[in-house]
Amino acid sequence: MGEEVKFHGMWASPFSRRLELALKLKAIPYQYIEEDLSNKTPSLLRYNPVHKKVPVLVHNDKQVAESMVIIEYMDETWENNPILPRDPYERAMARFYAKFIDDKLLPTLAKLGQTAGKEKEETIEEIHEQLKILEDELKGKQFFGGQRIGYLDIVAMILVWLHLAGSITGQKILSTENFPLIYEWIERVMKMEVVNECLIPEEKRQDWIQLAQRAPKSASN
Amino acid sequence: MGEEVKFHGMWASPFSRRLELALKLKAIPYQYIEEDLSNKTPSLLRYNPVHKKVPVLVHNDKQVAESMVIIEYMDETWENNPILPRDPYERAMARFYAKFIDDKLLPTLAKLGQTAGKEKEETIEEIHEQLKILEDELKGKQFFGGQRIGYLDIVAMILVWLHLAGSITGQKILSTENFPLIYEWIERVMKMEVVNECLIPEEKRQDWIQLAQRAPKSASN
């Protein structure tokens, strides 16, 4: 069809990596443009003038920003390998928990590197309460999407990042004891080649942790 | 079809009122349950255990929370009077700007009642920058949805609330001079009976302003 798909992202942005995973799961060929967020390309500024953030998808002459908006657009534009469930109620539940991760869990995780002492303990407690909700959501399921990886799994990849960060910093928020179902899910998805391709490569993980610890303001969505 | 639709809401919650408008636009019969947020009904707590907030839609035995998730669910479940555009790109744009209103404009508006002096001036400036983005989105259009009222118009009802609040407090953020297209849009939607039914009744607007000015924490979504 002569379709052109370009994706502006940044290697350490979980929002960029979730879009990468969605593109690969849907088997959509694309051209990747790595953005230096301290020196954004003119096309990024043109494509996402509202937020000036990655990721941005450019499909032919149309640009879409905001990772979850992009994923819904892709799922509606290319029907192969659906990412969202087909049933309206299951779709609603996937969107509800995805929003929960983005609006509740991510801000709490962001507080982790910026707090100490009692405040940090309270943050960890809050994260545990939020993870409990996701643990319950995995009951009786292989993936958040049921029998196969889907929309909520893509958003929940942040749990894999949390697990990887814990392995590097030694601060383990997640363990097989306190969240067995999430832990099993992490092991299951990390065995998938397509997921591994969308994680930060091992040799860059130290850089990533340093970047994450000093980045106070989100530059992606 | 013997369908049962219940909607738990709260009179002064803009998120409840946007769901009310969506139900009316789609002509879905429903039973309304007003929640006292200081004394929530056991069913609200059961239906939205994650956030414990209004609005909640209960369709037969299924419950859905989060206003925008509910509206997408309704639009996929009942096909009559579609709320979202049909074209995937137009859908993406509607979702993008709806998210912009919820994630960017609403938090800035919330700061308005909590700031004074220079900080308040900066907040107003920030609101004006955000409104400019929405003003641009209305260029050449009757409604945010194009020729007819739709998804983004429902979310943008907060602009009508802002206009009404300005008429009461005397603090006019929006005028026909600075945002002519938004102002025309407000006049256009306020002439629609269905929109008026979903605004706070005139006799309750003083109470609403007082409530809005002292409510620091959101109890609805």
Which chain A residues are closer than 8 Å to B56 by Cβ? none
Contact B88 A70 (CB under 8 A): no
Looking at the predicted structure, is the pLDDT value of residue B171 above 90? no
Which chain B residues are closer than 8 Å to A91 by Cβ? 72-73, 76
Of A65, A77, A88, the CB nearest to B76: A88
Strand residue runs (E) in chain A:
5-9, 31-34, 56-59, 62-65
Q: pLDDT band for position B219 (50/70/90)?
A: low
User: Quick one: average pLDDT of B141-146?
Assistant: 94
Which residue does chain A place closest to B89, by CA atoms?
A: A73
pLDDT at A215: 59
Other Cβ atoms less than 10 A from the Cβ of A119: the count is: 11
DSSP A26: T
Of A66, A91, A133, the CB nearest to B99: A66
Cα distance between residue A8 and residue A61, in whole Å: 14
Looking at the predicted structure, is the pLDDT value of residue A193 above 70? yes
Domains and their CATH numbers in chain A:
5-77 (3.40.30.10), 88-214 (1.20.1050.10)
Mutate which of A99, A129, A134, A137 to test chain B, going by most B C-beta atoms within 10 A?
A: A99
Other Cβ atoms less than 10 A from the Cβ of A80: the count is: 8
What are the structure tokens assigned to A100, written together?
A: 């929960």
pLDDT top residue among A44 and A192: A192
Q: What are phi and psi of B56, to 5 degrees?
A: -130, 135
Within 8 A by CB and 6+ apart from A124, the residues are A112, A173
Which chain A residues are closer than 8 Å to B64 by Cβ? 89, 92, 96
User: Quick one: average pLDDT of A77-89?
Assistant: 96
Whether the CA torsion A74, A77, A80, A84 is positive or negative: it is positive
pLDDT at A32: 96
pLDDT top residue among B186 and A220: B186
**Mean pLDDT over the full length of chain B:** 92
Looking at the predicted structure, is the pLDDT value of residue A209 above 90? no
Looking at the predicted structure, is the pLDDT value of residue B36 above 90? no
Model confidence pLDDT, tens digit, residues A140-151:
999 998 999 999
- Sheet harboring A5-9: ordered strands across? A31-34, A5-9, A56-59, A62-65
Q: pLDDT band for position B86 (50/70/90)?
A: very high
Percent of chain B with pLDDT over 70: 95
- Is B166 within 8 Å of B205 (Cβ atoms)? no
User: Quick one: average pLDDT of B152-172?
Assistant: 93
Span of A88-92, B39-43, B92-96 with lowest mean pLDDT? B39-43
Cα distance between residue A186 and residue A164, in whole Å: 10
State the DSSP H helix or E strand holding residue B25, giving kind and residue range, or none if neither: helix B14-25
pLDDT at A71: 97
Looking at the predicted structure, is the pLDDT value of residue A171 above 80? yes
Within 8 A by CB and 6+ apart from B115, the residues are B122, B123
Mutate which of A53, A56, A66, A87 to test chain B, going by most B C-beta atoms within 10 A?
A: A66
CA proximity to A187, closest of A151, A221, A138? A138
- Taking only Cα atoms into account, the Rg of chain B, rounded to an integer number of angstroms, comes to 17
Cα distance between residue A192 and residue B204, in whole Å: 57
Cα distance between residue A112 and residue A161, in whole Å: 14
Of B73, B77, B95, the CB nearest to A69: B95
Which chain B residues are closer than 8 Å to A133 by Cβ? 50
Looking at the predicted structure, is the pLDDT value of residue A57 above 80? yes
Cα distance between residue A65 and residue A220, in whole Å: 10
How many degrees, rounded to 5, is the angle at CA B31 between CA B27 and CA B34?
120
Looking at the predicted structure, is the pLDDT value of residue B147 above 70? yes
